[in-house]
Structure 1
Amino acid sequence: MSSYYKATRPDGTDFYTGTIDYGAALASGDTIRLDSDETEFPGPGWLHLATVPTECDGMTWPCRLFEVEPVGDVHHDEDHPHKIGCREVRVLRELPAHEAFGPQGEQVAALIERARCLTAAEIKRLHAAWYAARAAARAAARYAARDAARAAARYTAWDAAWDAAWDAAWYAARDAAGYAARDAARDAAGYAAGDAAGYAAWSLVARDLISTDAYDTLTRPWGEVIGPIHPDDPDMRRGA
């Protein structure tokens, strides 16, 4: 039997409308039913489910993640191979939210939380480390990483996880910079810290898909200042 997934807001409701409560449906055991004659897919006339946890389209972090099953007819679309549509769904169980980020989900979630509490000194050092790393090298590494990931069979099932990880890490670091610094250099330092966190999170999601060289290049600014983001990463901090 196939498994399907739905990521929701922390309160259990869907990201799109905020009115369909998957958390309440799990607690009650009731199915969620949508009465609609709409045929366009994707569209508001369907309950959208993902075939893999990392492709819950429209998700942001933090989130909740549920395993669900469609009830009745299911709509498939070749243009959206990791998404199905149905009119009724049963919520089976809640899963650890970090699984929406894939095999390295725990580490991605930890990185995002770490980015939220960056100090002013760390942000300053991230700023320096980011600009010390050559932009051309970062660009080449990201293109190489993207190409390597495309070659993997499950590449198309990771877009939602990549986007959510990047956004959450970037904004967490950016917000930390806003709270930690109140001078004229705040914006530049905040953007650099955000980029360092975003690249690290993006690369961590794809760690098992991309080359070691690309991964190390993209995560180096963060790693040199904050430390390893995965148990198997080398410690790049000075004096480590």
Structure 2
Amino acid sequence: MNVTEDDVLGVLKQIETGDVTLVPDYDPQERINGDVSYRASNGWTIEVSNWSGEFAGIVEIGLPNGSVLDIDHLDRHMPGVAEYFPDEDVAWRAYRMKAVETGFIYLSDDKLGRFADAKEGTVVSNPSREPPWIIVDHSLRDVTVARWPGRLWLARVLDRLEPQDHRGNYTRCVSVKIVREMPTHNLFGPYGEQVERALRFAGGLDREGAERLAGHRHPDAADLTSQGWHRWQALATGTDNTPDRDMRGVVRAANNLKSPVGHGLSLAHRAVWDAAERIDGAAAFEEDEDERWLIGPWAAAGSAMLETVWGLGAPDLFDEAEREVLLQAWDRREG
């Protein structure tokens, strides 16, 4: 039984509508610690983490053929299921649990602060109700990743600031409780593990590696990254209002759509920038009064890494021949 993420989300939707019903192995309101296993009327089983009678996330899904989708599989291949939380009505009606407000917290390794030792069950609180507050994003797509590497948590809101008084899909908090830590590759789309592999390589570049990347780029690769942007925007919005715009070298869309790899493009560019600055210092750049940019092999290496992230992280936007063009420098990076 080959089950996709859409199949699982479809069953969760049927549970919400009542077309699939659940029977728990115990009443979550009578025994309020441990995981609850539900037998579904369609032959599936769903195991849910129970925190004092509250729905704290799906732990495991069992299929009628006996195979199991555990939390590691959900994190890696079904992030939409891993981040699923029902609303208040569904949580009580279908699962006999209370709904909780949850979201995501990402911090780069150099900004962990009070979250340095955070793990499942850890409560992290501000010393006062004054800023800076803890920011909990409502979905993985909303998470801002300015620096990498870092750590990603699913967290429950314990104490939220009132009034929120802001725009944006996030909650300002004074206190949160960690539900669990999640793999950071979830931030970069369905092929996020490959994107992280590229980021690790870019972060460890030396001059010889930059020169190899520069020397092996395909002449048509940059143009394909521009086409990738247009194809992505057409899919994401149903239209592309700038089909003739040259988007080679672009790392972030102006309409806040990010990209099919989240912030993966800007992080790849930043990784090469940091490597160039570390190794060659000012000699790796040119600048004027308002701007600074990479030059020489570092500039070409930066472009090669953008092409790599497109090819590895958004393969569905390109045919096989196009992916070979995008990944030519990457495939020959070892010499």
Instruction: Determine if the TM-score, normalized by the shorter chain, exceeds 0.5.
Output: yes
Given candidates 219, 223, 234, the residue that maps to 2:327 is 223
Match of 1:172 in 2: 271
State yes or no: 1:113 paired with 2:177: no
Match of 2:300 in 1: 192
Match of 1:52 in 2: 139
Kindly indicate whether the alpha-carbon contact (under 8 Å) linking 1:50 and 1:56 is maintained by their aligned counterparts in 2. yes
Q: CA separation of 1:189/1:65 partners in 2, compared to 1, >3 Å: closer, same or farther?
A: same
AA matched with 1:198: L
Kindly indicate whether the alpha-carbon contact (under 8 Å) linking 1:32 and 1:88 is maintained by their aligned counterparts in 2. yes
- The superposition leaves residues 61-96 of structure 1 with CA deviations (integer Å, 9 ceiling, x where unpaired) of 100111111014476779423x22233211222222
Task: Look at both structures and tell me which one has the larger radius of gyration over its CA atoms.
Answer: 2
Given candidates 115, 124, 148, the residue that maps to 1:22 is 115
Question: Matched residue of 1:98: which SS?
Answer: helix
Kindly indicate whether the alpha-carbon contact (under 8 Å) linking 1:126 and 1:225 is maintained by their aligned counterparts in 2. yes
Distance 1:212 1:24 in 2: 41
Match of 1:32 in 2: 125
Distance 1:161 1:6 in 2: 20
**Aligned-pair CA distance for 1:140:** 3.5
**Aligned-pair CA distance for 1:107:** 0.9
Matched residues, percent identical?
21
**Aligned-pair CA distance for 1:187:** 2.8
Residues paired across the two proteins, number = 209
Per residue, is there more helix in 1 or in 2? 1
Give unpaired runs (5+ residues) of structure 2: 1-54, 56-84, 86-101, 240-252, 286-293
State yes or no: 1:143 paired with 2:230: yes
Match of 1:6 in 2: 105
Q: CA separation of 1:24/1:147 partners in 2, compared to 1, >3 Å: closer, same or farther?
A: same
RCO higher in 1 or 2 (8 Å CA, sep ≥ 6)?
1
Match of 2:168 in 1: 80
Q: Normalising by the residue count of structure 1, what TM-score does the alignment of the two structures yield?
A: 0.64
Q: Normalising by the residue count of structure 2, what TM-score does the alignment of the two structures yield?
A: 0.49
Question: Matched residue of 1:80: which SS?
Answer: coil
Kindly indicate whether the alpha-carbon contact (under 8 Å) linking 2:189 and 2:261 is maintained by their aligned counterparts in 1. no
Q: CA separation of 1:144/1:194 partners in 2, compared to 1, >3 Å: closer, same or farther?
A: same
**Aligned-pair CA distance for 1:56:** 1.8
Distance 1:142 1:161 in 2: 9
Distance 2:222 2:259 in 1: 25
Q: CA separation of 1:95/1:137 partners in 2, compared to 1, >3 Å: closer, same or farther?
A: closer
State yes or no: 1:89 paired with 2:176: yes
Kindly indicate whether the alpha-carbon contact (under 8 Å) linking 2:120 and 2:181 is maintained by their aligned counterparts in 1. no
Distance 2:203 2:330 in 1: 13
